[in-house]
């Protein structure tokens, strides 16, 4: 039987990662917001000071099967800093292709991120989810995450480029 392996992404995975980023954005009904390119993913994740780290879930064919390993999911994370708690991991994306869901792959990716967080002495691991994505919300809660909007009322904000330019006068 084919098996699943969660491993660190390599530069050569960026094409697959971009494909899955687009699938996730489509699922989130926000595909028009994806501006990232494979080149940017290569440069930003695999240079001297990487801006992000990525895990990929790969299906390994059973002995005798001719299919090569195939990337069916990913988890992309980076380090942030909390003035209250110190070192923190932020999981930007987690995604598994529809036909491979419900087999524990997403949970394996999330568990691996928790392992990396502890190895790097992070005291928390954060992520955000759209308010209609109840299945993902239920999964995160089942895995032990706390809903910060429910518990503490946080709103998530961003300055886009135009707003930043106005602020910076550039
Ligand atoms: C969320 C996601 C990564 C979980 O991966 P997975 O491999 O299906 O997860 P697991 O097999 O470890 O866990 C299965 C659980 O995930 C839940 N789940 C979450 N979103 C789901 C979805 N869109 N389709 C099917 N199951 C989903 C299932 O309800 C299941 O719960 P159960 O075991 O109580 O039945 C995956 O379902 C996915 O990519 N969903 C679409 C994208 C998404 O929502 N990403 C998170 C954005 S914040």
Helix axes 14-27, 38-46, angle to 10 degrees: 110
SS3 57: strand
Q: Which residue from 98, 97, 96, 78 is spatially nearest to 88, judged by alpha carbons? A: 78
**Does the pLDDT of residue 66 top 90, yes or no?**
no
- How much is the CA Rg of the chain, to the nearest whole Å? 17
Element (H, E) at 66: none
Report the nearest atom of ligand 1 relative to the CA of 103.
11
CA of 87 to the centre of ligand 1 (A): 27
- Sequence-distant (6+) residues with CB within 8 A of 130 are 28
State the pLDDT confidence band at 107, using cuts at 50, 70 and 90.
very high
**What band does 67 get if pLDDT is binned at 50, 70 and 90?**
confident
Kindly list the domain boundaries of the chain, sorted by start residue: 3-127
Judged against a pLDDT cut of 90, whether residue 90 lies above it is answered with yes
- Nearest CA owner, ligand 1 atom 44: 136
Pocket test for ligand 1, best of 22, 101, 138 (most atoms within 8 A of CB): 101
Q: Is 24 in the pocket of ligand 1 (CB under 6 A)?
A: yes
pTM, entire model: 0.95
- Bridge partners for 4 per DSSP: 59
Q: Is 129 in the pocket of ligand 1 (CB under 6 A)?
A: yes
Give the Å distance between the CA of 106 and the centre of ligand 1.
6
Contact 46, 11 (CB under 8 A): yes
Q: Which residue has the tokens 């992070």?
A: 122
Model confidence pLDDT, tens digit, residues 146-164 = 999 999 999 999 999 999 9
Q: What is the CATH number of domain 3-127?
A: 3.40.630.30
């Amino acid at each position: 039987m084919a098996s699943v392996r969660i491993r660190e992404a390599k530069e050569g995975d960026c094409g697959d990662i971009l494909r899955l980023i687009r699938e996730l954005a489509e699922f989130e009904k926000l595909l028009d917001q994806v501006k990232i390119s494979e080149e940017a993913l290569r440069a930003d994740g695999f240079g001297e000071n990487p801006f992000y780290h990525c895990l990929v879930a790969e299906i390994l064919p059973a002995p005798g099967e001719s299919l090569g390993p195939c990337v069916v999911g990913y988890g992309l994370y980076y380090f942030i800093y909390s003035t209250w708690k110190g070192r923190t991991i932020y999981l930007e994306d987690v995604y598994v292709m529809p036909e491979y869901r419900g087999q524990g792959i997403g949970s394996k990716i999330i568990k691996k991120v928790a392992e990396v967080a502890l190895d790097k002495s992070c005291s928390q691991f954060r992520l955000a989810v759209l308010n209609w994505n109840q299945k993902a919300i239920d999964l995160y809660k089942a895995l032990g995450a706390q809903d910060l909007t429910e518990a503490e009322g946080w709103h998530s904000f961003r300055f886009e480029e135009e707003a930043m330019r106005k602020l910076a006068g550039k």
